[in-house]
Structure 1
Amino acid sequence: MTPREEFSIEESEFELKLLQSVAVGIVNACVDVVISGVKLLQALGLSPGSGRDHAVLHSRSDLEEAFVYFMGKGAAAERFFSDKETFHDIAQTASKFPGAQVLLCGPIGPKLHELLDDNVFVPPESLQEVDEFHLILEYLAGEEWGPFKAPHANRFIFSHDLSNGAMNMLEVFVSSLEEFQPDLVVLSGLHMMEGQSKELQRKRLLEVVTSISDIPTGIPIHLELASMTNRELMSSIVHQVFPAVTSLGLNEQELLFLSQSASGPHASLSSWDGVPDVGMVSDILFWILKEHGRSKTRSSDLTRIHFHTLVYHILATVDGHWANQLAAVAAGARVAGTQACATETIDASRVSLRAPQEFMTSHSESGSRIVLNPNKPVVEWHREGITFHFTPVLVCKDPIRTVGLGDAISAEGLFYSEAHPD
């Protein structure tokens, strides 16, 4: 069967929920320079050695080791580069490299301001004299460098970004919300604090929670997570920030690292072996909402998590707080295929179905076995007041884009979601 025959969601099934205005903050406004990772590292005179992860990059050799480590796994990652001068030299080489793309991905420098659409309102207080640059090294599925071969396309991001890391625009962003009056607030960039001292991390994290509490009641707040290595910081985010937000968006690496950092289910698992096990993912999502989400005995606002990995998505919601979940999770899966292939609609000849055809809904308890029905690809199940919606993703065979897919997925899912007012 063709992918289109196996995975069919009609347009009529999508119920459109219009958002008139969305405020995006707190941090992580930057200029993204997108380039072939292998070609850039070759231009820097580097050769593939032994792959090795680094929590912080201190040198070009650290960059080479971390890049090939994640390229060999086909996994996305993001790291802070500590040496300002070395990062500047690499950024200069990257920005002048043939084929490099500059994309908009806070602190608004002149280049970023130039890239913004006229409809994007920028508070004057957030303008600054210089831009923050993030370098995004892409690789293709099957691309080889030395002994390393990427199982599928992805990207490795690194930066020396101090403005976003210190969340300099935090207060400016929150103070502008009263006048802007958004229907939704989207926060991101907490991972950027990994480049800061522990003292500053603790101080700013408390100020994040205080600022979020100043956002008018009734406005949903979505937090998008990103790749991290600091378990103490992640644990603090889980315990302090999660109860203050309404919704989360994250991928498989962020989910497992979160569980490892906060002693959640399957925390002993060092990494996913291929496609993340649906039952294990479901267990962790359930634990997050049960331990840190809304309940009769807990004042947390968290009621929704949109999990996305390459071949499937899961939307987990606390019962009674959200509607339109089927359309939301399907829309997120659809945009993953169109964004990666850079097409307006799904082209069946350019995508493949790689999701598990059957799976267990839990490994922590006696979950049920699900067998996918091609005619109804969105599967629903329930567990102690939490509803799960699972859908396969039609994966682009030869991606044109690897940057910003998670953001697009979460944004599309939010666009179709309907939050019930308290």
Structure 2
Amino acid sequence: MALWRGSAYAGFLALAVGCVFLLEPQLPSSALRSLWSSLQLGPALPGPGSPERRLAAAWDALIVRPARGWRRVAVGVNACVDVVLSGVKLLQALGLNPGNGKDHSILHSKNDLEEAFGHFLGKGAAAERFFSDKDAFSDIAQIASEFPGAQHYVGGNAALIGQKFAANSDLKVLLCGPVGPKLHELLDDNVFVPPESLQEVDEFHLILEYQVEEQWGQLKAPHANRFIFSHDLSNGAMNMLEVFVSSLEEFQPDLVVLSGLHMMEGQSKELQRKRLLEVVASISDIPAGVPVHLELASMTNRELMSSVVHQQVFPVVTSLGLNEQELLFLSQSASGPHSSLSSWNGVPDVGVVSDILFWILKEHGKSDSRASDLTRIHFHTLVYHILATVDGHWANQLAAVAAGARVAGTQACATETIDSSRVSLKAPREFLTSRLGAGARVTLNPDEPVVAWHREGVSFHFTPVLVCTDPVRTVGLGDAISAEGLFYSEVHPRH
């Protein structure tokens, strides 16, 4: 009887709250939720939306086009055809058996492929490796390309970034890279490829995808991700660098995006050193006032990464795009903060990431005492993004970081807008802005999803990512994120 009276009482109050809503439709829904929860009879009435829906709505209000947008964007120099398929199914088709997993900086055999794929699947981490044996790679690529369900896409950071920019019909996009017939067919009509970039044969990259909790023997993937490998000599030698730079004079871009340095890992040390010097000389020929964004990618060669940092590559670029693997490897290679950390343990700590970003801009960025152009870094990891900028050089970065995070959710789920039923807010709800200095403690609010803080002339903009719970495709996310962040960015003219 008491139970029945309690139920009746709850029903009566629910009816009363409903009447209040009918009589006072303008009453804020937050007030109704507060009233219901104060009765302590059960869970709160559903609000205008979940944290995911509230966050997506807040982004939409924040993301505004810059006052002065780009008109002509030149992108180079790595391009290929991505063959995307299930990694576990391909390895099974190759007759490979699962082991414990082991990383290899360069793949020399199918056995190396099996071990490296298992290593990164177990971590749920993205990676990219060079396959040294041309004939073995050719055999694997043929099996992969003809595998049931295998899909062919535009590949290579430069081509993917160019393709993303080309979705904006008011932008003119130039792409320089080794473009074969299949890639040319896949590219957006809005992407212009100079004749010198066309070649008779495509470069193929194999993208082995795996889903969250997918198993390979004893290993289970904590996140959906992909393992990339190729035997790509054109991109490896950055063959299109000179074509790219020579095309800029006629194209007259107001933004240049460069990528492909990581592809040199398969080259000799002497060629790497020589090519980096030529990269610096080529970038230095780009007219002053045209920002140059460098998109980094997965590297395993510490000497190459150290050379990229120290051999004047960083000072001649204006902006960097990188993920958590590249950020930590960069700090390890150049003896930066937290470089004793061997790997990330789960979600990268915001304070640690912030410290490394701050160090890059303080040690290698633009200052009164240093001849450097570097003023911006776009960091992205699965559950959050940070844009770090030297004060006084960039505008609209609040919108830019939100736009980059939003496109991560839409592209992974293959939706036009954020579908709140298919995404999850997995970012830390509380974090410190630094682990070295006097970092502030921040509590995340989905209704105000971009958090800003400042540190000695550097501004940080943080926003969570709405992670797609059933990703359709993970490859190219970093390139889409960087392109979208750049599209919404505005650079202050040089004085």
Q: Could you say which TM-score interval applies, normalised by the shorter chain?
A: over 0.9
Structure 2 residue 137 is matched with structure 1 residue 87: yes
- Cα distance, 1:373–1:280 mapped onto 2, change above 3 Å: same
Instruction: Report % sequence identity.
Output: 81
- Distance between the aligned counterparts of 1:50 and 1:118, measured in 2? 45
Given candidates 5, 12, 19, the residue that maps to 2:70 is 19
Deviations 1:142-196 (A, max 9, x none): 1111101111100000000011111111111000001111121111110000010
Compare CA radii of gyration and give the structure with the larger one.
2
Q: State TM-score, norm by structure 2.
A: 0.84
Structure 2 residue 122 is matched with structure 1 residue 72: yes
Pairwise CA distance, 1:2: 4.0
Structure 2 residue 177 is matched with structure 1 residue 177: no
Q: Which runs of 4+ in 1 moved over 4 A?
A: none
Report the equivalent of 2:326.
254
Structure 1 counterpart of 2:472, one-letter code: I
Q: Please tell me the root mean square deviation across aligned C-alpha atoms, in Å.
A: 1.0
Report the equivalent of 2:388.
316
Given candidates 145, 167, 183, the residue that maps to 1:112 is 183
Q: Which moved more, 1:104-113 or 1:255-264?
A: 104-113
Pairwise CA distance, 1:325: 0.8
- Distance between the aligned counterparts of 1:348 and 1:113, measured in 2? 35
- Distance between the aligned counterparts of 2:413 and 2:245, measured in 1? 36
- Distance between the aligned counterparts of 1:223 and 1:314, measured in 2? 16
Report the equivalent of 1:4.
53
Q: Is the 8 A contact 2:59 2:402 kept in 1?
A: no
Q: Is the 8 A contact 2:55 2:448 kept in 1?
A: no
- Cα distance, 1:10–1:274 mapped onto 2, change above 3 Å: closer
Deviations 1:58-93 (A, max 9, x none): 000000000010001000000000000000000000
Structure 2 residue 357 is matched with structure 1 residue 285: yes
Q: What are structure 1's unaligned runs of at least 5 residues?
A: none
Report the equivalent of 2:200.
129
Report the equivalent of 2:44.
none
Q: Secondary structure at the match of 1:168?
A: coil
- Distance between the aligned counterparts of 2:196 and 2:469, measured in 1? 44
Pairwise CA distance, 1:6: 4.9
Q: How does 1:330-349 map to 2 (within 5 A)?
A: 330-349=402-421
Report the equivalent of 2:440.
368
Report the equivalent of 2:42.
none
Report the equivalent of 1:191.
262
Pairwise CA distance, 1:40: 0.5
Q: Is the 8 A contact 1:20 1:183 kept in 2?
A: yes
Deviations 1:393-422 (A, max 9, x none): 110001001010000001000011110011
- Distance between the aligned counterparts of 1:48 and 1:151, measured in 2? 17
- Distance between the aligned counterparts of 2:317 and 2:413, measured in 1? 32
Structure 1 counterpart of 2:201, one-letter code: V
Deviations 1:103-138 (A, max 9, x none): 012111222222223332111112222111110000
Q: Secondary structure at the match of 1:9?
A: helix
Q: How does 1:164-313 map to 2 (within 5 A)?
A: 164-239=235-310, 240-313=312-385
Q: Is the 8 A contact 1:52 1:65 kept in 2?
A: yes
Structure 1 counterpart of 2:309, one-letter code: V
Pairwise CA distance, 1:385: 0.1
Q: What are structure 2's unaligned runs of at least 5 residues?
A: 1-49, 156-176
Report the equivalent of 2:24.
none
Given candidates 156, 161, 165, the residue that maps to 2:232 is 161
Pairwise CA distance, 1:8: 3.8
Structure 2 counterpart of 1:45, one-letter code: G
Deviations 1:4-48 (A, max 9, x none): 1355425342221332221111x2111111111001000001110
- Distance between the aligned counterparts of 2:61 and 2:55, measured in 1? 18
Structure 1 counterpart of 2:464, one-letter code: P
Report the equivalent of 2:38.
none
Structure 2 counterpart of 1:15, one-letter code: V
Q: Is the 8 A contact 2:59 2:449 kept in 1?
A: no
Q: Is the 8 A contact 2:52 2:446 kept in 1?
A: no
Q: Is the 8 A contact 1:244 1:302 kept in 2?
A: yes
- Distance between the aligned counterparts of 1:4 and 1:267, measured in 2? 37
Structure 2 counterpart of 1:167, one-letter code: M
